[in-house]
Amino acid sequence: MSRQTTWARCERASPAGHCGLIDGTDEFFTEVEVERWDAPLVHLSDRAALELYLRGGELAQADRARAIEHIAVPLTLAKQGALIYGRKSRLALLTLARHRRQRD
């Protein structure tokens, strides 16, 4: 499995001068870690496994039946994705709180 961890670079600074990603409240994370993967993670060994996989994807019964007729098994599916961890340092939290008080 190909797994890669990287640290994000500062692309823009917060009003308080900190770098990082923005969370849902428009505040910045000062440390950002990204863990990526691209690997063959799902193996469908037979038609029953394929049918179960397609049902889990909420494919309609008629569409599942057609797909099962046309897809050759065994089949291995690659999955790609990423987990992003954002952390706020204590100093950043204090600075952001001070900035909010000044703004309000």
**pTM score:** 0.52
Number of domains in the chain: 1
Question: C-alpha distances in angstroms, 23 versus 33, 52, 66, 85, 87?
Answer: 14, 36, 43, 11, 10
20: containing domain: 2-98
Residue 85's pLDDT is: 81
Instruction: Show pLDDT as tens, one digit a residue, over the chain (104 residues).
Output: 444 444 444 445 455 555 555 545 555 666 778 888 899 999 999 999 999 999 998 889 999 999 999 999 999 999 998 888 877 767 766 776 777 787 76
In a domain, 104, yes or no: no
In a domain, 85, yes or no: yes
Residues 6+ apart with CB under 8 A from 76: 40, 42, 43, 44
* DSSP string for residues in 18-35: -BS-B-TTS-B-SEEEEE
Distance CA 33, CA 20 (A): 10
